[in-house]
Amino acid sequence: MTKTVDLNCDMGEAFGAYTIGDDAAMLEIISTANVACGFHAGDPVVMRDTILAAKAQGVSIGAHPSFMDLYGFGRRRVMGDKPEDLEAQIIYQIAAIDGMARALGWPISHMKTHGALGNMAAEDPVLAEVCVRAVVAVNPKLVVVALPYSEIMKAAEKAGLEVVCEVYADRTYTADGMLTPRSQEGAVIKDHAQSVDQALAMVRDGYIPTTAGTKLPVEAGSICVHGDTPGAVATAKDLREAFIKEGIAIAPFARN
């Protein structure tokens, strides 16, 4: 049986007069798109256009909620004091794209947290449960895309939700399997060859190379390239070609 992996990208992050990333080019390469829901990036028009573009390419889509932090692109830790308020915000975002996608005939398949929300939910079991409750409230059939060794993966599995393990081609990992904080040197991999080597190690060889020099076992179901990383489209092309060369097919983990 041919081994397959999903290749995903965070997109729909433009808003108003501002353009971020080359979504059109990326949609010709990837199999799944995580679409911003308007809180850290995106707006209703961008959301609509991204969904329609993904539909035209047959690319699966999902909700990519974050903190209400347009100024900081969702990469600041601005959760607030009440977890129930954050839960409402996540429900709002998932419901927004779910409604837009249904209206356009290309329903969402999954939820993946963005930025600081995702990093915090990976480590905080209370926050992880908040995110999972929001998914259940909107649609318990949605797949939760989560980091390996993360609290959100544990919370989703405990809630009986389908989970897909996601790894990153353009980010380095600490010894405990978490993403290296962006504040640290080398957190973002900008070299295409290094990204490809790391991706192959995780998908083909089944381990995450860490900054400590250790190898953590992993069963990767999806691999992500950030759309706003410099050279993202070229990296995605290199990844796709490398996987195909290794006999690994690119396919969405879920169909719309």
Q: Strands 60-64, 32-36: parallel, antiparallel or unpaired by DSSP?
A: parallel
Inform me whether the pLDDT recorded for 74 exceeds 80: no
**What are the structural domains, with CATH classification, of the chain?**
4-250 (3.20.20.370)
Structure tokens at 206: 């089944």
**Who wins on pLDDT, 17 or 44?**
44
Its pTM surpasses 0.75: yes
Task: For residue range 80-100, list pLDDT tens digits in order.
Answer: 768 899 999 999 999 999 999
What residue ranges in the chain does DSSP mark as E strands?
4-11, 32-36, 60-64, 110-111, 143-146, 163-168, 207-209, 215-217, 222-226, 249-250
Sign of CA dihedral 11, 158, 177, 85: positive
Task: For residue range 123-136, list pLDDT tens digits in order.
Answer: 999 999 999 999 99
